[in-house]
Amino acid sequence: MNSIVLTHHSDYSLITINRPQALNALNAEVFSELDSVFSGPLPETSRLLVITGSGEKAFAAGADITEFSDLSGPAARELSRRGQIIFDKLSTLSIPTLALVHGYALGGGLELALACQIRVVTKKAVMGLPELNLALIPGYGGTQRMASLIGKGKAIYYTLTSENMDAETAVQAGLADFVVEDQDAGVAFIEKFAKKLSFKSAVSIGLALSAIEQSGTAGGFEKESDNFQKAFETEDMKEGVGAFLEKRKPVFKHR
Ligand code: HXC
């Protein structure tokens, strides 16, 4: 891999977009490499997939604008669809996904963060959808995910004005979930979170995630009951309940 770096830590895996000279702009190579990570298995010990950007300045400053100049209209549509499909893979993984945002998360970069389930931002985060400055619109899911996170009215305001949000505004609006002081504090947050996940059954984590992913949809409650049954039928559930009754810590086998 050339444009992203994938590292595995004790309880989580970390993708670092590695194009600091272009503020980690998402080019075709970044997308192919992300696709291969989202399509392949991660180590069994990874309970969380984290995405961040290299350097001090940016998570990712958008799609790589230098790739736009020679695109036809239909090729632009294809670019948007391919990005959406890859980001959909990310948002439906069986482990939770977390964007650690420091500096700029703009346009496609913000859309990548929005496709993660949790956003942790440092105090220097700057988040926005500047596509309309280019007479474009968001194309990697931003028109859909932004509205479902912060409501239609605010999504329309921020998309049409291209105004950025700072960390505090983003948390208040619901665009970001947690603010940390700096990147080191972000890593400490991640390590603690992943450690907590390591004590749970990976099966129940996956079942909870896929039910929560359907929240707000017509089938959401049905999905919850389906997944409740699946959890109920696992060996881990017997261990969890048995351990509670026997007043000991459970040892899950993830099945
Ligand atoms: C390609 C980019 C880039 C981008 C920055 N760079 N953003 N290259 N695509 N999205 C490059 C610059 O050209 C420059 O390269 C280097 O990174 C440093 O950027 P500067 O502009 O010199 O830094 P600074 O003055 O600090 O300004 C930072 C910035 C600005 C405010 C973030 O770079 C900026 O406005 N970038 C574009 C943001 C944007 O419009 N994003 C949305 C893209 S459209 P050189 O070689 O000159 O050093 C999009 C659509 C998604 O995302 C949907 C598609 C289907």
Ligand 1 mean position, distance from CA 5 (Å): 21
pLDDT, position 160: 98
Three-class SS of residue 6?
A: strand
In angstroms, rounded to a whole number, what is the distance separating the alpha carbons of residues 191 and 203?
Answer: 21
DSSP 172: H
Q: Which residue's CA is minimally distant from atom 7 of ligand 1?
A: 61
Q: What is the pLDDT of residues 88-137, one digit of tens each?
A: 999 999 999 999 999 999 999 999 999 999 999 999 999 999 999 999 99
Whether 61 lines ligand 1, by a CB cut-off of 6 Å, is: yes
CA atoms within 13 A on the CB side of 232: 6
Cα 220 to Cα 85, 95, 216, 225, 226: the distances in Å are 21, 19, 6, 9, 10
Q: What is the pLDDT of residues 148-166, one digit of tens each?
A: 999 999 999 999 999 999 9
Pocket residue to mutate for ligand 1, from 65, 68, 158, most atoms within 8 A of Cβ = 65
Residue 3: both structure tokens together: 């444009």
pLDDT, position 143: 98
Ligand 1 mean position, distance from CA 164 (Å): 14
Cβ–Cβ < 8 Å for 97, 79: no
pLDDT, position 131: 98
Cβ–Cβ < 8 Å for 86, 31: yes
Q: What is the pLDDT of residues 234-247, one digit of tens each?
A: 999 999 999 999 99
Ligand 1 mean position, distance from CA 26 (Å): 10
Q: Could you identify the residue written with the tokens 């990570």?
A: 37
* Domain segments of the chain as ranges: 4-197, 202-245
Pocket residue to mutate for ligand 1, from 23, 27, 112, most atoms within 8 A of Cβ = 23
Nearest ligand 1 atom, CA 57: 26
pTM of the model: 0.97
- Confidence category of residue 46, pLDDT binned at 50, 70, 90: very high
Strand-by-strand arrangement of the 13-17 sheet: 4-8, 13-17, 49-53, 97-101, 118-122, 178-180
pLDDT, position 124: 98
CATH number belonging to domain 4-197: 3.90.226.10
Q: Which residue's CA is minimally distant from atom 11 of ligand 1?
A: 22
Q: Which residue's CA is minimally distant from atom 16 of ligand 1?
A: 22
